[in-house]
Amino acid sequence: MLANYGIQCLARFDDGAERRLALPRKLHAVAGDWGETDGKRLVTIEPREHILARADADSTQILGANVDRVVLVQSASNPPYRAGLSDRYQVFCAVMDIPLILVINKIDEGDEAVLAKARRYEEWGVEVVCVSAHSTENIAVLAERLREGTSVLSGHSGVGKSSLLNTLLPGVEIEVGDVSDYHGKGRHTTTTARAYAYRDGYLIDTPGIRQFGFVGVDPSDVARAFPEFAEYADQCKFRNCMHTHEPQCAVRDAAESGKIRKSRYRSYLRIIESLEY
């Protein structure tokens, strides 16, 4: 299933043909779903393996199903890179056990400090690829990483996700927006996720996110995405320490003394807080 268009969906068949099928109201198909058809309609959806899902104040949305990796696209220039967003994706992916690739686009106009910040994530088990959709620098490296399996691309609008997909998918033309109105309302953007066959797998394009609210994440899961906390967490007084307010918390001490990056610890606290309200 490549895309859900309401009463219809776009399906890809085993022989590679793509065509629309009727979509019964009770089937909430999402890009990346596998299913069966009677030739006219989609009749079943197989249970999903890994999903990328997000929530905001109004709704929860599954952005892609049966995904083998999540690709968070951020920009090295405008809109500005946001470490907090990388951390949130890292948490989601750690909990769901999905590999994360952090793609930093617009390196043609980005500064080195941003790239250095992003590359830190390699220490924490995240693959980082710095590219430019405009100059095509490192696009071949990215293409190689996405060769197999299903990759779901997500990020704020304006980061250049459409431009990257147009570079990776010759022949497909996704509308590219103007970065100046990335937080405006007027722009027509992708509103529904769409999967494209790509080499030996699929790429799923998703609507630009404003907020990456969690689905299925419990506060006690969050530390898993912060592997640099682990050696200290063993020394906390309480075995189930959440590293927030507990006395004799070795993780907080390590952050205070600079053994753990303070910005990461603060990000951890913000994530815990966002889950508790």
Q: Where are the beta strands (DSSP E) in the chain?
A: 3-4, 8-12, 18-22, 35-37, 42-45, 51-55, 60-65, 69-75, 100-105, 127-130, 148-154, 194-198, 200-205
- Nearer to Zn ion by Cβ, of 251 and 271: the residue is 251
- Number of residues interacting with ligand GDP: please give it, by CB under 6 A: 19
Burial class of residue 59 (count of CB atoms within 10 Å of its CB; 0-12, 13-18, 19+)? exposed
**Nearer residue to Zn ion within complex by CB, 196 or 229:** 229
Q: How far is the CB of 179 from ligand GDP (least distance, A)?
A: 4
Residue with tokens 């603060």: 266
Give whichever of 183 and 259 is closer to ligand GDP, judged by the CB atom: 183
Tokens of 150: 């299903």
- Looking at beta carbons only, is 146 or 241 nearer to Zn ion? 241
Closest to ligand GDP by CB, 56 or 231: 56
Residue 48 per-residue DSSP state: P
Quote the least distance from Cβ 253 to Zn ion, whole Å. 9
Cα 168 to chain centroid distance, Å, stands at: 18
Q: Which of 177, 254, 255, 267 lies at the binding interface for ligand GDP (CB under 6 A)? A: 177
Give the chain's length: 277
- Tell which one of 61, 90, 105, 206 touches ligand GDP (CB under 6 A): 105
109 binds, among ligand GDP, Zn ion, none (CB under 5 to 8 A by kind): ligand GDP
- Hey, what long-range contacts does 113-120 have (CB within 8 A, 24 or more apart)? 114/76, 114/77, 114/81, 115/76, 117/81, 117/83, 118/74, 118/76, 118/81, 118/86, 120/261
Alpha helices per DSSP H over the chain: 83-96, 112-119, 139-145, 161-168, 230-233, 250-256, 262-276
**Using CA atoms, how far apart are residues 246 and 75, in angstroms rounded to an integer?**
37
The span of 12-20, 36-44, 121-129, 170-178 binding ligand GDP (CB under 6 A) equals 170-178
Q: Judged by CB under 6 A, does residue 176 bind ligand GDP?
A: yes
Instruction: Identify which range of 7-15, 80-88, 127-135, 235-243 contacts ligand GDP by CB under 6 A.
Output: 127-135
Interacting partner of 32 out of ligand GDP, Zn ion, none (Cβ under 5 to 8 A depending on kind): none
Q: Which of residues 233-262 bind Zn ion (CB under 5 A)?
A: 236, 241, 243, 249, 251
Alpha-carbon distance of 125 to 130, in angstroms, equals 16
Q: Does 222 bind Zn ion (CB under 5 A)?
A: no
Q: Which residues bind Zn ion (CB under 5 A)?
A: 236, 241, 243, 249, 251
Q: Which residues bind ligand GDP (CB under 6 A)?
A: 105-106, 108-109, 132-134, 157-163, 176-179, 208
